[in-house]
A and B are shown apart, each in its own frame.
Chain A
């Protein structure tokens, strides 16, 4: 038995959530279904995350039979969603300088980094994301490795929603929830 123990402030083992525009990412399809995602060079690493929650909520179809006092149930399709809270960082939230971002760097490309979270939400941009669920300093992969010794990354595609920056007089720091509603499957990978 082991557990995943990310260490805040440790650049190797801490939680990392990266996003990029889906059309800037390399998405490998197998029979039309995404099986691998590689983010592009303009990806945005979301800083100052307070918490991360990964939802995989299966819908349930249930029925009753005359020969049983209990319902029968089977899972059907899932609703997937990533819920996070973060401290608002001006550059990652409002963009580092996209041509349509608020920072307004003319001629800069509209990468995820340049647009920022607020604009990616406003424009309802389809994203690819990756969550570094577990990172280890020296991963052991292949036949001698297992999930406890490898980097575990959850990937997928979705859209940003649920931005709700708030501030109070007693804690005058902008914080906001942010959700990524996932379209399609999660892709789990270890390396």
Chain B
């Protein structure tokens, strides 16, 4: 090994050989970075830095040549360094060209060149080849071929360089351009696959990633090979090349900063570095600035990506001379403006768009209908015609009709939208869309910028419609196929995040914009209404599904109320699917779908059957009315605790009164009030704290006092207050006294001083009512688990008699049924009672064994018995 590695003085001497020390070199680099602003003219920095490296490399080369005797060689810079684009910590790639016979004498020379440079901390690599080797390898190795394209003479034998390049261009680069393009396309897609991981969308690799600097070079290489020019901009429209140049500038600026800040060859734009770079580049402090910088970044890489794909396409598909000669065979006119050739769509007359701008939209319709791409000249004509898209175009019914029909067809609509966006048409046609272009979220969840996310959402709906997810998500698949006009849903998916370009709540802002856009497109109010609703509430379904208790009827009821109808519910579920799926490959999981599906199905049942749901309650209206009679503080205490079903049953005066009752049961265990009507009937209101079996205890106490129950309304508030109303009857006109006694008995029972069973036994012989002879009613019990998502419904028909309600409720309670809601009705001597029950776990009673048993016992009890024998406790 050479000695200077272990001897510092020697190393110092060697470094000094080049006239600079390691630290001195770093200082020089920083000086360049300071004098040449790295962000206003990044290329100037790259050039000056490269010039500096040239000086050092030349010096090392000359020193080495003077120290060892070696054959004549030529020193070249290749790769990025060859282009004189040297970022602060880029590799310095060198090539030594020699004449073929003298190979053995080279290694000492190479060592002498490299070691001092390495000791300065430079990443230098050097290969030595003869001219023939170079050409041979360039033919077989894509990487060597491309690195040679950018070769630059540095020092030594110029003749070697001239020879190599003459041969390389003529024999290799300008030949088989199509194969070259194919190889590069393969290379590009392979490289992108490596960076496909969503994390790279958030923290992109500026060199290797999609639309990164390497992609641009590929485009340039092809131009070099195909058009034999190094001026890549010469084959583009001036506008196009200017915006591309700006994109490159941004990438270079960022890359310089990446290297300078991290002190090494750092090409991943990590969150940490995004945060540091954005203020240096003059973006606002904090998240907003970072998001804006990343938006610019994504727009830049998008432009570069479009550029390279466009160039690759041209190289790969441009017809050969032979084909051109027979082209008339393949040409076909579509209409007076467009034709097809070689499987591409092209414009017949270049001034068509100027004369008749709506043809721009027709072009895309043809592309969809005939499933063909447009040729690149037509694409350029579209870009040139963008200024003709004005308000007249945007409001033209012809244009809008075509646009909507593209969406309505739902085939490759996303692809068409993507093309429109790429060519800049979409943002001209829907200017609001320009605001979300490249817009990113500074977080880990949202992988794509808003514009690509929105188009992806459309694509996911399309995939769903095509049946791509039929196996995994059969429900969603059948839902999208049920839709009458999927175009509206597709348009909504495209616009659902349009509010993200605005300040504040993006759903709300988006809803306003969508109303404006919809009106401009001439959509009917019937179509606009669901769009505005969907955009406004596009997050609510997932919020409820993931964060609320779906076993809670109120949750479903409120959601149903918000969604209004089944049609909107279906669209919301589909949009929620598309939205999450388009966030990133890992955002949508089967887990999430299970929750969303459950919410969908439960809510759908409400719309299809009504369930237990009463007519929707205008909650706010009732609460407002309550203000007239109650202290606002009390209202706010109770407002959330009153269930909708309760609110729907009582007037605001009654509710106000009930609240007052509820407040006083804090002190007293029980409150009973009644109003007697027509001497024999009374409406009884009972207010107490809910407890297990309460209903049965109340009906039992009524039975004790020979009060016949005609109707009952039972409600439990969220705070556990039970508020029940009974309509009772007493044939003996002694109702007042009986009610007094009922109140006393119930109090005794509830306070635990006596059990209902004891009281019943005591008075069982004092039956004062004689049975009349009347037609019999056969008993019937139906147990229904279909009509409600949350309750088992027990429907009982029986002959009315005193105490029957008590008996039924007791059986239910004994079987672990918690009664949530009851509807008691008496029709002559027939009672039809409906109970909504759950088991003690709050679940429906679904096991057949259990329901059968319950049914049997209930049926037995319905048949009148000679005497009331309360169940034996054993």
Chains A and B come from one and the same complex: no
Residues of B at under 8 Å CB distance from A?
Answer: none
Name A's B-contacting residues (CB within 8 A): none
